[in-house]
């Protein structure tokens, strides 16, 4: 039977709940059938094929011609049809824009950005450390990732609260609230682009408005498509990862203290936490009828490659539900795979590692505050709504 009663929004463990564990819940889908159909597995209630094995997800994600990423996910909320760039571009156009943008997110470029990222983290945590408790998501994870984005794009932190609200409404709201948030984000990107055309600076948006492809400057729509992608992809996901990571460390003081004693282990630990607490469901659309691993997928069908499922695959990872912060050869796909591998993966890794390192350097042994419980949720992007931490 290829139809299963499962989806990432409403199945047990997915709805917002106290002390929920959506990652453990999705791990239960492993086993035959390796591919099944969920009749409702998107925000708008559409069905998808669900690919459970990591090896099969890689096959889907590396075959961009058969399984397209062009779905106008963002612009459709406005009744429009333009792509987020480069994610929703198809070959060969995708390669042109990827080559343009790749150097802005290279390991060398991320090293150049690290000083600002670390300053943002340390300044915020210094303020938090004056108390003995905080809501980690509200007081650090969300504003930290938003401020890093704003600095990267070339805007001041004065718009931080607005962006947090817009992204939350876009990703977790419905109807008019989601449309209003999408329009606000477009207006923000257009405003920033116009400002940088008139007042260039040493930031990413200036690079974008001055960039050329095939001998021409980018159109307003292309600039918007790039700006929107890096706003959506870089905020909620990184903040969610930090939330799940700190919740884990709060519940596991031995690992917490181990990383505090040996901060050089944090980079390896981050890879394991990315694997165990992946946050994104990647959806592709079939461009033609195809027989995939014995399953007939029709043109137009949606195919779900939920990273949180692949990264708990027992055929890929030994004891996948065990968090081993020293795990070796950790070939997870938290950032996707293939030609559309997340462009900002290097920056996201450093944000998470720096956030954890600066937190451990300034906050003593912490735990989840007695009488409170984290509220987690599934969905297109898994997340933590609140995380109250306390320390002596």
Question: Rg for the chain (alpha carbons), in Å?
Answer: 20
Domain region containing 162: 80-276+318-391
**Would you say residue 359 lies in a domain?**
yes
Q: What's the rounded mean pLDDT across residues 33-47?
A: 93
Over the stretch 83-102, which tens digit does the pLDDT of each residue have? Answer: 999 999 988 999 999 999 99
Asked, for residue 13, whether it belongs to a domain, the answer is no
Residues above pLDDT 90, as percent of the chain: 82
Q: What is the share, in percent, of the chain residues with pLDDT greater than 70?
A: 100
pLDDT value of residue 215? 95
pLDDT at 227 over 80: yes
For residue 356, report the phi and psi dihedrals to the nearest 5 degrees: -65, -45
Identify whether the C-beta of residue 378 lies closer than 8 Å to the C-beta of residue 240. Answer: no
Collapsing DSSP to helix, strand or coil, 199 comes out as coil
Could you tell me the pLDDT band of residue 358, with boundaries at 50, 70 and 90? Answer: very high
Q: How many domains does the chain have?
A: 1
Statement: residue 143 has pLDDT above 80: yes
Which pLDDT band holds residue 24 (cuts at 50, 70, 90)?
Answer: very high
Contacts 24+ apart (CB under 8 A), 119-124: 120/144, 120/147, 120/148, 120/151, 121/354, 121/355, 121/358, 121/359, 122/358, 122/362
Indicate whether 21 belongs to any domain.
no
Ranked by mean pLDDT, the top range of 76-80, 174-178, 233-237, 385-389 is 385-389
Any domain includes 53: no
- Distance, in Å, from the CA atom of 223 to the CA atom of 211, rounded to the nearest integer, reads 10
Residues 274-306 have pLDDT tens digits of: 999 999 999 999 999 999 999 999 999 999 999
pLDDT of residue 191: 93
Q: What is the pLDDT of residue 256?
A: 97
- Could you tell me if 164 and 262 are in contact, meaning their C-beta atoms sit under 8 angstroms apart? no
Residue-wise burial string across 144-179, b where 16 or more C-beta atoms lie within 10 A, e elsewhere: bbbbbbbbbbbbeeebbeebbebbbbbbbbeeeebb
Q: What is the pLDDT of residue 176?
A: 86
Residue 347 belongs to a domain: yes
Q: Which residues of 203-238 are buried (b: 16+ CB within 10 A; e: fewer)?
A: bbbbbbbebeeeeeebeeebbbbbbbbbbbbbbbbb
Q: What is the pLDDT of residues 250-281, one digit of tens each?
A: 999 999 999 999 999 999 999 999 999 999 99
User: For the segment 191-220, what is each residue's pLDDT rounded down to a tens digit?
Assistant: 999 999 999 999 999 999 999 999 999 999
Q: Which residue has the higher pLDDT, 72 or 38?
A: 38
pTM given for the model? 0.94
Q: Which of 9, 15, 71 is nearest to 42 (CA)?
A: 9
The answer to whether residue 178 sits within a structural domain is yes
Band of pLDDT at residue 323, cut at 50, 70 and 90:
very high
pLDDT for res 17: 85
Domain membership of residue 333 (yes or no) is yes
Query: Is pLDDT at 1 greater than 70 in this prediction?
Result: no
pLDDT for the residue numbered 38: 96
Domain with 355 in it: what CATH number? 1.10.630.10
In a domain, 128, yes or no: yes
């Amino acid at each position: 039977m290829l139809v299963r009663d499962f989806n990432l929004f409403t199945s047990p463990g997915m709805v917002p709940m106290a002390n929920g564990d959506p990652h453990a819940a999705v791990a239960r889908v492993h086993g035959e059938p390796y591919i099944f159909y969920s009749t409702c597995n998107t925000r708008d209630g559409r069905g998808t094929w669900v690919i459970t094995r990591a090896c099969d997800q890689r096959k889907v994600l590396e075959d961009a011609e058969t399984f397209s990423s062009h779905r106008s996910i963002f612009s459709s909320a406005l009744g429009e049809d333009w792509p987020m760039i480069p994610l929703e571009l198809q070959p060969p156009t995708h390669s042109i824009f990827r080559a343009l943008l790749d150097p802005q997110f290279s390991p060398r470029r991320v090293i150049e950005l690290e000083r600002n990222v670390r300053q943002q983290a340390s300044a915020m945590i210094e303020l938090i450390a004056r108390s003995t408790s905080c809501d980690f998501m509200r007081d650090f994870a969300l504003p930290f990732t938003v401020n890093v984005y704003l600095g990267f794009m070339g805007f001041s932190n004065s718009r931080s609260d607005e962006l947090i609200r817009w992204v939350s409404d876009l990703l977790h709201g419905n109807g008019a609230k989601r449309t209003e948030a999408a329009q606000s984000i477009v207006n923000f990107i257009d405003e920033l682009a116009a400002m940088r055309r008139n007042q260039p600076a040493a930031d990413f948006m200036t690079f974008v408005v001055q960039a050329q492809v095939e001998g021409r400057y980018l159109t307003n729509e292309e600039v918007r498509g790039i700006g929107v992608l890096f706003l959506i992809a870089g905020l909620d996901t990184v903040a969610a990862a930090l939330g799940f990571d700190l919740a884990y460390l709060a519940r596991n003081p031995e690992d917490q203290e181990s990383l505090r004693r040996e901060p050089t282990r944090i980079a390896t630990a981050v890879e394991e936490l990315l694997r165990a607490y992946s946050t994104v469901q990647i959806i592709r659309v079939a461009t033609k009828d195809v027989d995939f691993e014995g399953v007939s997928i029709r043109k137009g069908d949606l195919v779900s490659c939920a990273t949180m499922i692949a990264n708990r695959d027992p055929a890929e990872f030994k004891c996948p539900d065990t968090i081993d912060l020293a795990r070796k050869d950790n070939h997870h796909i938290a950032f996707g795979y293939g030609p559309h591998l997340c462009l900002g993966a290097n920056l996201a890794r450093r944000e998470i590692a720096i956030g954890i390192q600066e937190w451990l350097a300034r906050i003593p042994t912490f735990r989840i505050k007695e009488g409170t419980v984290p509220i987690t949720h599934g969905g297109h992007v898994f997340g933590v709504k609140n995380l109250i931490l306390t320390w002596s």
